[in-house]
Chain A
Amino acid sequence: MVFSSLTFLLLFLPLLYLLYFARSSVRWRNGVLLALSLLFYGWGEPVWILAMILSTAVNFCCARAITRTEKEHARRWILALGVIASLSFLLYFKYSAFLVNTFAALLSLPFRMDPPRLPIGISFYTFQILTYTVDVYRGRAPAQKSPLRLLLYISCFPQLIAGPIVQYGDVESQLGERSVSPDDFTAGMQRFVKGLAKKVLLANVCGAALEELTLAGSGQALSWGGAWLAVFLYGQQIYFDFSAYSDMAIGLGKTLGFTYKENFDFPYASHSVTEFWRRWHISMGSFFRDYVYIPLGGSRCGRLRTIFNIVLVWALTGLWHGASWNFVLWGLYFGLLLILERFVLRGLLARLPRFVCWLGSFALVTISWAIFYYTDLPAVAQHLAALFGAGVSGLWDAAAGAVVRKYTLYPLAAFFLSLPVVPALAKKLPERLRDALGLLLSIALLAASLLFLVGQSYNPFIYFRF
């Protein structure tokens, strides 16, 4: 089930609150939340609930064993068992076909493996399970005594399928005790509606506009302007799509008494690529920093080792997004930019005007979406070449012109809203007026989103596939 579906909005959500707030005991609420979270996850692909439960069960047992074992050597082995068990699910479902086919191609073997069907959100919940076992191993959190409570942490529907990646230590106490005030509930719902509107009114429209453009791999040459328009639209779509999901998840979490960390902080306002990654998909960045980069030694082992760590982390970051070489390339592209900014350009960036830094960062990030979009490497190459004027059909093409005429203000409005202008203006308003306007806007956006959902059904979440 997705948040931006009528099933969720008209039936699931009201039913959830009806049951959830029927009693005030945490035990009852956890039970309701767990049952409905499993329903939410199983809606569409019920069979994958078993994979999630199995993965949770293995890590529950491993964590319990870690706390009962005193020998460090044994604790490490148990941790390794939990990590390998979790990653093996991910490896099989997401990467087995990619790896087998890559090796088969390298060795010229005459077979090809079809990828297994991917359980929704497996990358997200696998990482969450890993944070649990590792946090228990590190002593950052106690092992959970109740397997159902651990399953609730993993399956809690707001963040289950597209993040943010919630680290166990951040919500461990909330699983046992939490409360929701009417103000929290109101603020949470308003945040949810904001996310819904971003998804339905902006991301979907940018996606629809993108679909009407001539793209690489279609057998036609791209125009220079069309190529830039395509990556700009995709950049807007993916930002509003993903940040919308995070908004909805954080908002829903708030209405249920959970506090999730922010996942986006106006990344397109960044003045460097480094800053961009501090503002974009923050929970994933934190995961890789805390659970991969720092354990590898981080930046404490000399320049060469730091560069190696950065390259490895960013290759893994890219691979996390999908089992395809374009994602690895995309990760390495950012790894390279981060290394350059860190070791070569730091002084230059400090001297350049802020606007130039912003423009350069925005352009570099926008270019990266061409790598991210196509899983077909020749198409990536064609689009990248077109961005720099190579092999283009001209400056502009009819399809791009038609898209600009048809959608015109949407991408512009999306771009404007992707920068922190509105929050800055809102801060200048008196609090009561701001609240009143916020409420009116939320109601209007909810109504408009519903009508849009019925009026058009271009509604998939991009990050579902990761």
Chain B
Amino acid sequence: MKKRFSFICVYLCLLSLFCFGAGELLFVAKGERMSVSENRMLRAFPALRADTVADGSFMDGFEEYLSDAFFFRDGAAAFHDGVMGVFAVPDDGPETGVVEDDRLWEQSEEQEAAFQQLMESEQAAATPAPLAEEGGAEAPAAAVEARDVHVWLQRPDGAQEVLFTYPADSMRSFADILNRYRAKLPEDGHLYFFSPQVADIANNIIGKTKYTDWGTDLVDVLQPMVDEGITIVDDMAILSPYLNDSVSPLYPTEDYHWHAIAASLTADELMRMQGVAPADYDQYRYYLSYKHDGIAYSTDKLAQMHYGAEAIEIMAALSPAGSYFLNNITERQRTTFTMSEGGYVGFLGGHKGPWRLIEGGFHTGRNALVVGDCFTIPLIPYLAPYYDQIISTDVRDNFYSVYLAGANIGDYIAAYDVDDIYVVWSTNARFYSDNIQSRMSAYLDMQY
């Protein structure tokens, strides 16, 4: 053997690989977990059954699980992004109105400390009070008793199988947040909240026979807890009749966001609730994107080969309309649909901003705020015809900058005379997540 040392190194590498793989299987949690930074649920260990092996879904799920459960996962992603950055030429400036501001990234220590303190206080406020011990002082009774919220799938025989549960305490604190947002509106203003499901949930039903429908008791639980002027909308009920529509599918197969048609159906129902006849779906202009992404995670988890991808409808605002990146309440920079972004993030610059302003151009005398996650993006064009202006923001970590915003959400609501608020948090956001319980709450009134 000429290369003994090399052989030993190769042997050790293989051993390390095996230790990694075995370690993942033995020590990493098998259940579903939330990745706040990616705004998605990490894959649980797939169900090992004869049917899942036969149709290959076990194997697909297993590979995803291994990737999601990888030790130092965030480090690996950072390494990947870092290497990609090293090999790129620094961008000289925006292509189409991308806001560049060093303040987004360069925060002073004082600013950072102040922000952390605020977030911690919000997290503490969101934590439910411990149960009173027997014989001790009683906890103040809530006006309406909070209950867990369930999302379920329905079998053909009518039996319901619970997919996941939102804890009652997180629903109570979320209701309080909605009430605080509502309080910022004028008396005739209204707040609508709904929670669209991701494609992963719908795919249990679409084209399948095991389940025929889905449902939730979100409205039953949350509606009694919120103030007047707030409507909790059952988006699952709105979309239910269209789940198996193969001509205009609600969800892409390669992505877990929703198609434009699903956003349109929801927006139409929201308008009908307000006594407004919605514009026809076909009156809008659409771009077809043959790019794979159509999603926020455009180059990562869900990327597929070009030939394997389907066309994803991308929404363009009705003309005439203006769209802008917005910061410091009034600083605006015009932006347009950018093909180089592709998919969801192509629409009006996607998540960049941190605020965006959309002018419907129809002079209705009303303005709206849309706040939530990426499911808001395709919704906005379908709301645009009914408002003079819509301001929009995605308050999730990585998508929001308190420094670029320059003012709290309450200030924006006041500055833009917002009449209605649409709060949209998809399944993935989870009511107990920091994005909702801390950020959405903190950014409303934080002091500048």
A277 in contact (CB, < 8 A):
no
Identify which of B56-64, B360-368, B397-405 touches chain A.
Answer: B56-64
Which of B3, B14, B21, B339 touches A183 (beta carbons < 8 Å)? B3
Interface residues of A in 393-427 (CB under 8 A from B): 398-399, 401-410, 413
Binds A, one of B81-89, B189-197, B207-215, B316-324: B81-89
The answer to whether B9 touches A14, judged by C-beta atoms less than 8 angstroms apart, is no
Q: How far is the CA of A409 from the CA of B85 in the complex (A)?
A: 10
Q: Which residues on the B side are within 8 Å of A214 (C-beta)?
A: 339-340
Chain B residues within 8 Å of A373, by CB = 306
Are the CB atoms of B88 and A407 closer together than 8 Å?
yes
Residue of A with least CB distance to B81: A455
Q: Would you call A7 and B62 a contact (CB within 8 A)?
A: yes
Q: Pick the contact of B7 from A186, A205, A404, A410 — CB < 8 Å?
A: A186
Closest Cβ of chain B: how far from A453's Cβ, in Å? 7
Whole-angstrom CA separation of A181 from B7 in the bound complex: 10
A398 and B56 within 8 A (CB): no
Cβ of A47 within 8 Å of any chain B Cβ, yes or no, is: yes
B446 interface residue per 8 A CB criterion: no
- A183-B2, A404-B89 in contact; A451/B76 too (CB < 8 A)? yes
Which residues of the other chain, A, contact B66 by a CB distance below 8 angstroms?
Answer: 6-7, 10-11
A345 to B24, CA, bound (A): 60
Q: Is the CB of A212 within 8 A of B342?
A: yes
A226 and B104 CA atoms in complex are apart in Å by 32
Instruction: Verify B76–A399 contact, CB threshold 8 A.
Output: no
Residues of chain B lying within 8 A (CB to CB) of residue A43: 59
Interface: A210 (CB within 8 A): yes
By the criterion CB–CB under 8 Å, are B6 and A14 in contact?
no
In the complex, the answer to whether B1 meets A183 with C-beta atoms within 8 Å is yes
Main secondary structure of the interface of B (DSSP, over half): helix
Per-position binary interface string of chain A over residues 359-399, scored 1 when its CB falls under 8 Å from any chain B CB and 0 otherwise: 00000000000000101000000000000000000000011
| B88 and A190 contact, CB distance less than 8 A | no
A53 CB contacts on chain B under 8 angstroms:
none
Docked CA distance A183–B67 (Å): 32
Closest to A214 in B: B339
A435 to B2, CA, bound (A): 11
Q: B53: which of A46, A186, A212, A442 is its contact (CB, 8 Å)? A: A46
Q: Choose from B21, B95, B293 the contact partner of A401 (Cβ within 8 Å).
A: B95
Does any Cβ of B come within 8 Å of A15's Cβ? yes
What CA separation (Å) do A218 and B91 show in the bound complex? 26
Interface centre among B1, B7, B73, B89 (most CB of A within 10 A): B7
A451 to B307 CA separation, bound complex (whole angstroms): 26
Known: A6-B63, A220-B339, A460-B304. A14 touches B18 (CB 8 A): yes
Q: Which of B66, B81, B95, B301 has the most CB of A within 10 A?
A: B66
Decide yes or no: A6 and B70 within 8 Å by CB, A43-B59, A455-B77 being known contacts: yes
Chain B contributes a number of interface residues (CB within 8 A of A) equal to 67
User: Contact at B287–A182, with CB atoms within 8 Å?
Assistant: no
Pick the most buried of A6, A403, A439: most chain B CB atoms within 10 A of its CB: A6
Chain B residue with Cβ nearest A16: B14
B79 touches A183 (CB 8 A): no
Interface string of A101-138 (1 = CB under 8 A from B): 00000000000000000000000000000000000000
B224 beta carbon closer than 8 Å to chain A: no
Question: A402 vs B91: C-alpha distance in the bound complex, in angstroms?
Answer: 9
Closest to A431 in B: B2
Of A10, A207, A448, A456, which one neighbours B18 at CB under 8 angstroms?
A10
- A457 touching B303 by the CB < 8 A rule? yes
A17 engages B14 (CB within 8 Å): yes
Determine if B134 is an interface residue (Cβ-Cβ < 8 Å).
no
Q: CB < 8 Å: which of A6, A190, A408 contacts B89? A: A408
Q: What's the Cα separation between A18 and B301 when bound, in Å? A: 31
A225 within 8 A of B: no
B residues less than 8 Å from A210 (CB atoms): 306
Residues on A with beta carbons closer than 8 Å to the beta carbon of B7: 182-183, 185-186
Residue of B at shortest CB range from A379? Answer: B290
Rounded to whole angstroms, the CA-CA distance of A451 and B82 in the bound complex is 11
**Interface of chain A: mostly helix, strand, loop or mixed:** helix
Closest Cβ neighbor of A446 among chain B residues: B13
When chains A and B are docked, how far (Å) is the Cα of A106 from the Cα of B1? 65
Does A5 have its Cβ within 8 Å of any Cβ on chain B?
yes
Encode contact with B along A36-77: 1 for CB under 8 Å, 0 otherwise: 000000011111000000000000000000000000000000
Interchain nearest-CB distance for A319 vs B (Å): 17
Check: A352 CB closer than 8 A to any chain B CB.
no
Q: Which chain A residues lie closer than 8 Å to B21 at the CB level? A: 6, 9-11, 14
Contact residue among A18, A205, A404, A443 (Cβ-Cβ distance under 8 Å from B13): A443
**Which residues of chain B in 419-448 are interfacial with respect to chain A, using CB atoms and an 8 Å cutoff?**
none
Please give, as numbers and ranges, the residues of chain B lying within 8 Å of A46 by CB-CB distance.
53-54, 56
Partner of B290, one of A7, A218, A460: A218
Residues of A1-41 contacting chain B, CB below 8 A: 1, 5-7, 9-11, 13-15, 17-18
Among A7, A13, A18, A439, contact of B63 (Cβ-Cβ < 8 Å): A7
Known: A6-B70, A446-B13, A457-B67. A398 touches B95 (CB 8 A): yes
Q: Which of A1, A13, A373, A399 has the most CB of B within 10 A?
A: A399
Q: Does B291 lie within 8 Å of A451, measured CB to CB?
A: no
Closest chain B CB from A435 CB (angstroms): 6
**Least Cβ distance of A102 to chain B in Å?**
19
Interchain CA distance A426-B69 in the complex, whole Å: 39
Q: Give the CA-CA distance A86 to B60 in the complex, in Å.
A: 29
Which residues of A sit under 8 angstroms from B49, Cβ to Cβ? none
A462 at the A/B interface (Cβ < 8 Å)? yes
B145-156 near A? 1/0 per residue, CB < 8 Å? 000000000000
A373 shortest CB reach to chain B, Å: 8
Bound Cα distance from A284 to B13, whole angstroms: 33
The yes or no answer to A269 lying at the interface (CB within 8 A) is no
6 pairs from A and B in contact (CB 8 Å cutoff): A6-B67, A11-B22, A210-B306, A215-B290, A410-B87, A453-B67
| Interchain residue pairs A-B with the least CB separation, the first 7 | A455-B80, A10-B21, A14-B18, A454-B76, A399-B340, A6-B66, A409-B87
- In addition to A6-B67, A211-B342, A398-B339, 13 A-B residue pairs with Cβ atoms within 8 Å of each other are A14-B14, A44-B56, A183-B3, A189-B10, A205-B84, A219-B287, A398-B340, A413-B87, A452-B76, A455-B79, A455-B80, A457-B67, A457-B303
